[in-house]
Amino acid sequence: MAPLSIWNVPHHRNTFFTGREDILTHLHSTFTAGKTVILTQAISGLGGIGKTQIAVEYAYRHREEYKAILWAKADSREILVSDLVGIAELLNLAKKNPQDQNQMVSAVKRWLQSNTNWLFILDNAEDLAMVREYLPSVGNGHILLTTRSQVTGRMARCIKVNKMKPEEGGLFLLRWANIIALEASLDAAPATDQIKAVEISQIMDGLPLALDQAGAYIEETASSLSGYLNLYQNKNTVLLKRRGKLISDHPESVFTTWSHSFEKIQQANAAAAELLRFCAFLHPDSIPEEIIIEGAPELGPILQPVAADPFELNDAIGELLKFSLVQRDSEANTINIHRLVQTVVRAGMDEATQRLWAERTVRAINRALPDFELTAHQVYQRCLPHVQACMALIDQLHMSFTDAAQLLYQVGQYLHKHAQYEQAEPLYKRALAIYEQELGPDHPHVATNIDNLASLYRNQSKYVPS
Residue ranges covered by each domain of the chain? 6-160, 166-241, 261-365, 369-466
Mean pLDDT of 243-260: 74
**pTM of the predicted model, to two decimals?**
0.83
Class of domain 369-466: mainly alpha
pLDDT at residue 248 greater than cutoff 80 = no
CA-derived radius of gyration, the chain: 27
Q: 433-441 contacts: CB < 8 A, separation 24 or more?
A: 434/399, 434/400, 434/401, 434/402, 434/404, 434/405, 434/408, 435/402, 435/405, 435/409, 437/400, 438/400, 438/401, 438/402, 438/405, 439/402
Give 348's contacts (C-beta < 8 A, 6+ positions apart).
259, 262
Edge to edge, the sheet with strand 334-337 lists: 287-288, 334-337, 326-329
The confidence band for 351, taking pLDDT boundaries of 50, 70 and 90, is very high
Partnered with residue 73 across adjacent β-strands are 123
Q: Which helix H or strand E contains 158, and what residues bound it?
A: strand 157-160
Other CB atoms within a 10 A radius of the CB of residue 26 amount to 13
Is the Cβ–Cβ distance between 326 and 284 less than 8 Å? no
CA atoms within 13 A on the CB side of 225: 25
Please, what is the average pLDDT of the chain?
Answer: 87
Write down the architecture of domain 261-365 according to CATH. Answer: Orthogonal Bundle (1.10)
Look at residue 413 and give its three-state secondary structure.
helix
- Cα(155)–Cα(132) distance, rounded to whole angstroms? 8
Residue 242, CA distances (Å) to 24, 214, 220, 345 in order: 30, 9, 12, 16
- Cα(425)–Cα(415) distance, rounded to whole angstroms? 9
Write down the architecture of domain 6-160 according to CATH. Answer: 3-Layer(aba) Sandwich (3.40)
Look at residue 116 and give its three-state secondary structure.
strand
Is the Cβ–Cβ distance between 194 and 170 less than 8 Å? yes
Other CB atoms within a 10 A radius of the CB of residue 464 amount to 7
Percent of the chain topping pLDDT 70: 93
Higher pLDDT, 101 or 120: 120
Instruction: Please give the DSSP secondary-structure letter assigned to residue 281.
Output: T
- Same fold for the domain at 6-160 and the one at 369-466? no
Total residues found in the chain within this entry: 466
**CB burial class (10 A; 0-12, 13-18, 19+) of residue 129?**
exposed
Q: 146: closest CA among 15, 334, 20? A: 20
pLDDT at residue 464 greater than cutoff 70 = no
* Dihedral angle sign, alpha carbons of residues 433, 436, 442, 445: negative
Higher pLDDT, 379 or 177: 177
Look at residue 120 and give its three-state secondary structure.
strand
The confidence band for 249, taking pLDDT boundaries of 50, 70 and 90, is low
Region of 124 on the Ramachandran plot (φ > 0 left; ψ -120 to 50 alpha; else beta): left
pLDDT at residue 245 greater than cutoff 80 = no
Is the Cβ–Cβ distance between 390 and 407 less than 8 Å? yes
pLDDT at residue 274 greater than cutoff 90 = yes
Higher pLDDT, 199 or 98: 199
pLDDT computed for residue 101 by the predictor: 83
- Cα(275)–Cα(307) distance, rounded to whole angstroms? 9
pLDDT computed for residue 98 by the predictor: 60
pLDDT computed for residue 174 by the predictor: 92
- Cα(422)–Cα(339) distance, rounded to whole angstroms? 29
